[in-house]
Structure 1
Amino acid sequence: MPDGRVYQAVADAFYEEGVRTVFGLTGDGNMHWEAALSAKPGVRSIHVRHEHAACAMATAYAVATGEVGVASVTCGPGLTQLSTALATAVQARVPLVVFCGEDPIDASWYNQRIDHGAVVNATGAIYLPARSPRLAVHHVLEAFLTARSRSLPVVLTMPLDMQQKPAAQGAVAYVPSRSIAPKTGPRYPHPDAVKAAAERIRTARRVVLVAGRGAKAAGAVEACKRLAELCDGALSVSLPVRGLFNGHPRDIGVSGGFAHEAAREAFGEADLIVAVGTSLTQHTSDLNLLFRPDQVIQIDADPPVMKHGQVTATHHLTADARLAVEALCAELGNGQARASDWDVEAYSRRVHSEPPDSTEYAVAPGVFDPRDVAAALSAHAPKTWAHVGSAGHCAYFATHLYGREADNFLTIREFGAIGNGLSYAMGRWAARPDQPVMLTEGDGGFLMHIQELETVVRHGMKILICIFNDGAFGSEIHKLRADGVSDDGAIFGFGDLAGIARGFGLDGHVIGDLDEIPELAAAFEAGNRSALWDFRVSDQVMAPTMRRAVGNRR
């Protein structure tokens, strides 16, 4: 390689930012940069078969590690392929830096030319075009600072010919973004706000504490448990941190549309919700069916105030989640528990022992009830495996796998897009290659990026893919049927998914009896290959969220 080129200086800057894992698909616009970065000590490049997968993998990697995820694609079609994955990362507020080539500055025509800024801006990501060799490295710093400070993806683009220009000479040593980002420290609660929130808690009869990602990030778990004990409250979580209170006798599982029947009863009895570090989307309140904004005290360092078109709460305690909850505990008596008139632990026992949905369905011979599949996986898949939950109709059923810590669960569902699951599982594996990953996915979503099975095998990943295979796009068939419209366009049959997996080099099994799971799980854990388990499930069984949705359509 010629020395002293812009692409080399930019690769050096990424390395100084601490980038050691990059997900990409090589093309003209990024190949020299990628080669320069990959040549550095300790850098791992995971080369994919579709650009979408690179961005989605980087998203899951960022969520799992707390670092800025890094992906790389070429210009034009390389960038346009990212749109759905970028939009999902934006909605989930995941910090990424995507290094993208751009058409040559000095070319009068280029067959991959497109308005990159329009594409990136349409997704909600931040478009950062580099046009000067002298400022190229500065733009790397700008990209990482912006991604970290705003928790958003940044697409850093550089023209192909500019990358080959001589790098600026005599530049000062690169200072990574982490070194110069403001160190503000946690935000302390105002004493008056603490007193007001504590008074509301004292006068409430039945309290449910709902913790989200902000509570996990702030290290507020133990303080939340203490607060629940002081007010005899229940502990719940938003879906992304499922398992945050794993094993606690007050844990009633996830809030929102995926809540267990017993949890829904507990929310129905509650007169106060203390929301800790959660943005209170309408998913979390199940469109206000679980609780209303006027029932909520929201604890957050930067409360959104409005989310999904509504005011999130009528009372706020603006502060770092841990410091705020600890201050509330001190104000409420510093150890003196308060009695209430409900049995919180009974709700918790029901959540962890009873089926999450008791609605009866006629299930035809030869297929499983997806609720039974989830229960079997919950019972027999080792709790030490990471679990990645995908989107789609199957997501409700796979939510109810219990006994797993929040650090071992990952889901990114904010954009409502299927087809990301396999890539997210691969990104989660890249964050912890020593830990097997179990992906729960629908057949429709899985087939959208099936080419990445080759990437799984090539990189020696250990991923168990559990397909809830209803032979259809599950959400669509239920809506079409409810509307009295033919569902033919959403049905495509079970297919030979296990055979396809074997063709790529994985182990593939069509599960005929749920009693096979313990033996198969032991074999997977002892082996060194990825595997696919095809569970053929009934297309008659509807998740409660779908039942409520189609019920409103009639």
Structure 2
Amino acid sequence: MASKATYEMLAEAFRQEGVATCFALLGDANMNWASILGRLGTRMIYLRHEHCAVAAAMAYARKTGEVGVATVTCGPGLTQVMTALPAAVRANLPLVVFAGEAPLKSAWYNQAIDQAPFVTATGAVYRPLHHPPRMLEGVRDAFLEARMTRKPVVLGVPFDLQDLPWNGPALPVPSSELVPQVSPIPPHPADVARAAERIAGARRIVVMAGLGAVASGAGPACRRLAERCDALLATTLPARGLFHDDPFSMGVAGGYASAAARDLLGEADLVIAVGTILAQHNTDGGKLFGRAHVLQLDVAPVAISQGRVAAQSHLRADARLGVEALIEAVTPRPAAWRSAETARLIRETPFDREPAAPEPGLHHPAAVVAALEAALPREWQLVNSSGHCAFYCTHMPSRPQDRFLTIREFGAIGNGISFAIGVAAARPDQTVVLFDGDGSLMMHVQELETIRRHGLNILLCVLNDGAYGSEIHKLRAIGLPDDGAVFGRPDFAAIARGFGLGGACVEELSAIPAMVADFARRGGGAVWDFQISDQVMSPVMRRNHPPGGQPGAHS
């Protein structure tokens, strides 16, 4: 009986880690391994660009809670993922990327490059596997490291070593058997007492939840705490929708906060930040609730977050256990801020108090989003991309957190279609709707073919302003020419049909309900092109880039 090749054993090591889906683009240094992984039962989704493979794995990891897995070839395959990796690092997403390496036996190889510095510069971890007897343990250890640190780990395996006959040890135990089985961290009673005293002395309290609260299942406890201490609710952008059906939820706290949320957060004298790092954008650079004392409740409290003092006091604990301890420790108070008038203010105040009118024949982005919000089924999975139009899509009040994905930590456009593919792979029985800008979609429009080839159920709604939306508004604000950011309006419906998908240019928003019903019956992939005005600025853009501002102003 012929012995197995090393790449076969490496594939078995990945399969043993429970890898159900792998996002791939093949080359010499990974194609044999990937082919075997697919034969072993892993679903292989083959994309058209390496960046998109890793970005799709990011969304898959966020949506499933598992380690996302992607594979690219060595050299140029690896360098193509230098935008996705820092985004995954900053979003705390566990990934394992099988990257391959140039053959060690070659004196010269045209795709050879020192891959480790590229990866480590992004904040990810690079693990070269150059000693065959240790390779299988190296794979296991990479999954363990990704799970424990919640970072991407890139494996470099020279492809001449992959071709060697395997004569090493058997498969090690999988990482799942080595992950420490520990209970959630309860708070210290003295810390709870100090926090309760702080709450007792506050008048206007906001309970703000982040992804740590989502992960620990602290949502219901946050609601009870808010009721007990007459507090309002808010979330960070990634956790948006956690309290979507609560009348005292202000929605997102941060640069994307609604007009009502900005007013109310400005009144707060205490913000209880549950399971969040209190990032710059979450606090709008410290301007959103600058008068409030911030109490951070987290398993790893921080003094400085993204260059600024984030909180003045801390409670170290699992989010759910910490909030539940506060519920028991605080004295109930009568509702005052949580009044009918406050609920009405949240419910009825437009998220943009100064909307500009679009030109004739073009849509206002807020009107497009409102029409889609009313028509899209509540069980469909929504994905919000980056860019100027993302502000409007954030304000869809009926959408819960588990059906709305936002990953924006690196601020890069072009990821939307990859994220939608990742969510579709994670939720194969559900329809996925992507909200994207035209500039973002054009960066990786080739992945429309991936959607068709794999039969993914994705509806892409393109808010098409014929330009890079953020850039034109910034350039115009400081009086510089915008022609470098304006490129016209591609016919996305025709482009979609060219890739074998459905396509429509939506001229009348009243047609959306019938279009949604038809898409629900047909399934598959489609692109709907909404041509919107490039004269409409989002509130966050108007605040940060008023006319006559200076180049380089904070965004």
Q: State the TM-score, normalized to the length of structure 1.
A: 0.97
- 2:362 pairs with one of 357, 367, 370: 367
Give the conservation status (yes or no) of the 8 Å contact 1:188–1:320: yes
Q: Which AA in structure 2 matches 1:491?
A: V
Specify whether residues 344 and 542 from structure 1 end up closer, same or farther in structure 2 by C-alpha distance, changes over 3 A only: farther
Specify whether residues 367 and 147 from structure 1 end up closer, same or farther in structure 2 by C-alpha distance, changes over 3 A only: same
Q: Distance in 2 between matches of 1:342 and 1:140?
A: 54
Shift of 1:344: 4.8
Q: Which residue pairs with 1:141 in the alignment?
A: 140
- 1:553 pairs with one of 522, 543, 549: 549
Q: Which residue pairs with 1:257 in the alignment?
A: 255
Q: Which residue pairs with 1:301 in the alignment?
A: 299
Give the conservation status (yes or no) of the 8 Å contact 1:252–1:347: no
Q: Which residue pairs with 1:77 in the alignment?
A: 76
Q: Distance in 2 between matches of 1:373 and 1:450?
A: 22
**Secondary structure of 1:184's partner?**
coil
Tell whether 2:463 aligns with 1:478.
no
Q: Which AA in structure 2 matches 1:38?
A: G
Give CA-to-partner distance per residue, 1:312-369, whole Å, 9 cap, x none: 1011000000111000000114xxx312542455444444444210214232101111
Tell whether 2:185 aligns with 1:190.
no
Tell whether 2:338 aligns with 1:339.
no
Give the conservation status (yes or no) of the 8 Å contact 1:224–1:325: yes
Q: How does 1:354-503 map to 2 (within 5 A)?
A: 354-503=349-498
> Matched residue pairs, number?
549
Q: Distance in 2 between matches of 1:434 and 1:107?
A: 47
Shift of 1:483: 1.4
Q: Distance in 1 between matches of 2:240 and 2:34?
A: 36
Q: Distance in 2 between matches of 1:202 and 1:294?
A: 14
Tell whether 2:320 aligns with 1:322.
yes
Give CA-to-partner distance per residue, 1:480-528, whole Å, 9 cap, x none: 1111110000000111111101111111111111111111111111112
**Secondary structure of 2:99's partner?**
strand
Q: Which AA in structure 1 matches 2:222?
A: C
Q: Which AA in structure 1 matches 2:276?
A: T
Specify whether residues 207 and 294 from structure 1 end up closer, same or farther in structure 2 by C-alpha distance, changes over 3 A only: closer
Q: Which runs of 5 or more structure 1 residues have no equivalent in the other structure?
A: none
Shift of 1:275: 0.4
Specify whether residues 526 and 347 from structure 1 end up closer, same or farther in structure 2 by C-alpha distance, changes over 3 A only: farther
Q: Which residue pairs with 2:49 in the alignment?
A: 50
Q: Distance in 2 between matches of 1:30 and 1:403?
A: 43
Q: Which AA in structure 1 matches 2:161?
A: M
Q: Distance in 2 between matches of 1:346 and 1:64?
A: 36
Tell whether 2:114 aligns with 1:104.
no
Q: Distance in 2 between matches of 1:283 and 1:30?
A: 38
Q: Distance in 1 between matches of 2:460 and 2:345?
A: 29
Give the conservation status (yes or no) of the 8 Å contact 1:472–1:490: yes
Q: Distance in 1 between matches of 2:141 and 2:218?
A: 31
Q: Which runs of 5 or more structure 2 residues have no equivalent in the other structure?
A: 551-555
Tell whether 2:267 aligns with 1:272.
no
- 1:283 pairs with one of 281, 286, 300: 281
Q: Which AA in structure 1 matches 2:325?
A: A
Specify whether residues 150 and 228 from structure 1 end up closer, same or farther in structure 2 by C-alpha distance, changes over 3 A only: same
Q: Distance in 2 between matches of 1:354 and 1:209?
A: 21
Q: Distance in 1 between matches of 2:339 and 2:162?
A: 62
Specify whether residues 534 and 382 from structure 1 end up closer, same or farther in structure 2 by C-alpha distance, changes over 3 A only: same
Q: Which AA in structure 1 matches 2:304?
A: M
**Secondary structure of 2:545's partner?**
helix
Give the conservation status (yes or no) of the 8 Å contact 1:249–1:345: no
Q: Which AA in structure 2 matches 1:226?
A: R
Fraction of identical pairs, as percent = 52
**Secondary structure of 1:241's partner?**
coil
Q: Distance in 2 between matches of 1:288 and 1:544?
A: 17
Q: Which AA in structure 1 matches 2:544?
A: A
Give CA-to-partner distance per residue, 1:441-492, whole Å, 9 cap, x none: 0000000000000000000111111111100000100111111110000000
Shift of 1:45: 0.3
Q: Which AA in structure 2 matches 1:547?
A: R
Q: Which AA in structure 1 matches 2:284?
A: D
Q: Distance in 1 between matches of 2:278 and 2:475?
A: 30
Give CA-to-partner distance per residue, 1:224-271, whole Å, 9 cap, x none: 011000011111111111111121222111110111111111101111
Q: Distance in 2 between matches of 1:419 and 1:480?
A: 21
Q: How does 1:11-26 map to 2 (within 5 A)?
A: 11-26=11-26
Q: Which residue pairs with 1:231 in the alignment?
A: 229
Give the conservation status (yes or no) of the 8 Å contact 1:57–1:424: yes
Deviates more, 1:521-530 or 1:443-452: 521-530
**Secondary structure of 2:456's partner?**
coil
Give the conservation status (yes or no) of the 8 Å contact 2:29–2:99: yes
Q: Which AA in structure 1 matches 2:212?
A: G
Q: Distance in 1 between matches of 2:505 and 2:143?
A: 45
Q: Distance in 1 between matches of 2:87 and 2:424?
A: 19
Q: How does 1:51-70 map to 2 (within 5 A)?
A: 51-70=50-69
Name segments (4+ residues, structure 1) moved above 3 Å: 343-354
Q: Distance in 1 between matches of 2:478 and 2:350?
A: 29
Q: Which AA in structure 1 matches 2:35?
A: A
Give the conservation status (yes or no) of the 8 Å contact 1:388–1:437: yes
Specify whether residues 349 and 387 from structure 1 end up closer, same or farther in structure 2 by C-alpha distance, changes over 3 A only: farther
Shift of 1:293: 8.3
Q: Distance in 2 between matches of 1:345 and 1:85?
A: 45
Deviates more, 1:390-399 or 1:523-532: 523-532
Give the conservation status (yes or no) of the 8 Å contact 1:271–1:295: yes
Give the conservation status (yes or no) of the 8 Å contact 2:231–2:337: no
Q: Which residue pairs with 1:534 in the alignment?
A: 529
Give the conservation status (yes or no) of the 8 Å contact 1:507–1:531: yes
Specify whether residues 353 and 466 from structure 1 end up closer, same or farther in structure 2 by C-alpha distance, changes over 3 A only: farther
Q: State the TM-score, normalized to the length of structure 2.
A: 0.97
Give CA-to-partner distance per residue, 1:195-226, whole Å, 9 cap, x none: 11011111111111100000010111111011
**Secondary structure of 2:157's partner?**
strand
